[in-house]
Amino acid sequence: MGRKFFGTDGIRGRTNAGVMTAATAMKVGQAAGTYFQRGDHRHRVVIGKDTRLSGYMLEHAMVAGFTSVGMDVVLLGPLPTPAVALMTREMRADVGVMISASHNPYEDNGIKLFGPDGYKLSDDDELAIEALLEEDLPLAAAEHVGRARRIEDARGRYIHAIKGSLPHAVRLDGLRIVLDCANGAAYTVAPAALWELGAEVIAIGVEPDGRNINHGVGSTHLDAIKAKVREVRADIGIALDGDADRLIVVDEKSQTVDGDQIMALIGSRMAAQGALRGGAVVATVMSNLGLERYLHGHGIGLIRTAVGDRNVLEAMREGGYNVGGEQSGHMILTDHGTTGDGTVAALQVLAALVASGKPASETLHVFDAVPQILRNVRFAGGRPLDDATVKAEIARAEAELAGKGRLVIRPSGTEPVIRVMAEGDDARQVAAIVDRICAAVRKAA
């Protein structure tokens, strides 16, 4: 069946428009609550959220949905997505919910669901819940309606867990760190964790007002953290996104360190320690060819997947790998969690910086990226990639890049856009190839 509600990462949309309404949230609570009531124990769901104004509305609507079908609710308040995954497992919950639209502006919101193992739901689970959303579900008898309670120690539990991702002997004393929390879900827990490990923390993006999440701050808006790193002469900057499942790093010279560099650093360091399972790192087709060459030069494989942290995690679980991520900053370290965690990845980066004794600019830029260009071409309808002229241009480009570059052409999964990415050793050749393909797509569209 087609998907009406679930996309590539849960349900997401504009608040009070389309699917992202209180009515939908209540129905999702009823459907997920019905689906996950298995066995004869008292059933429980944990619900976390980021700092969006609409989080209040959606949170209470979901409480109504879950309790109406007989499931008890534990409210965690504002917490990162990986914290919700952790608390789902720790509290022996049947299902976990994160209310967030990640790096999107505050006007959007979303619902992510986790199974009792703390992993995002499979396609089969999502399709089953989709089917239930279209049904009239039986409600619990009056005496079996669920209860709701809010717990106050969830933040402390999460801070304790992420600090445990580092060896006890590792401390961050002497490091001056600018930490940008995007006015989002990690605005209290991330600064506290770094401070407890000994760092001097200069925090920005820690004054959420319901409307400023990701607004000019966070991993998708780096001007603020770069300026602050220069202003306070910090050793490093760490930028999280709205739900803190991704990060981008800035060195002491305000140069960007993206997810590819972070994967190279963590993967090679773990390989040297004998801790890299499967002898490979998992990344997507968008990761730079320079990463692949660097890893191969160190005897480490690179497994590529389709775009999306969910695809990365699926490949990691199937192959038994423990390091994966995306160029955009999603870092999945399965030794320490079941989903991407920007703060845990930041701690691994900081541990490497401490161990090196060198500036971040020397430690974190571990390979030279190959020239890469990504361009989006919007189209009104049809299937421009099926056009004979577009196919011929793509074939010509692939022949030109053979052995010295890569080409990735794909339609967006969320909007009428064709994404054209090319990379290779010759920057002029790459630019010319992208120009030609984009022109062909526009003409076909």
Mean pLDDT by 10 residues, the chain (445 residues): 76 93 97 94 97 98 98 98 98 98 96 96 93 95 97 96 95 97 98 98 98 98 98 98 98 98 98 97 97 97 94 96 97 97 98 97 97 93 90 96 92 84 96 96 90
Q: Element (H or E) spanning 89, and its range? A: helix 81-90
- Cite the residue boundaries of each domain of the chain with CATH code 3.30.310.50: 372-444
CB 387 within 8 A of CB 442: no
Per-residue confidence (pLDDT) for residue 1, from 0 to 100? 45
Determine how many CB atoms are found less than 10 A away from the CB of residue 144.
12
Question: 158-363 has which CATH code?
Answer: 3.40.120.10
CA dist., res. 411 & res. 416, Å (int): 7
- Cite the residue boundaries of each domain of the chain with CATH code 3.40.120.10: 11-152, 158-363
Q: Which residue has the tokens 């003409």?
A: 443
Q: How many residues does the chain have?
A: 445
| Domain with residues 11-152, CATH architecture | 3-Layer(aba) Sandwich (3.40)
Per-residue confidence (pLDDT) for residue 2, from 0 to 100? 56
54 catalytic residue (yes or no): no
Active-site residue (options: 54, 100, 102, 219): 102
CA dist., res. 34 & res. 68, Å (int): 10
| Domain with residues 372-444, CATH architecture | 2-Layer Sandwich (3.30)
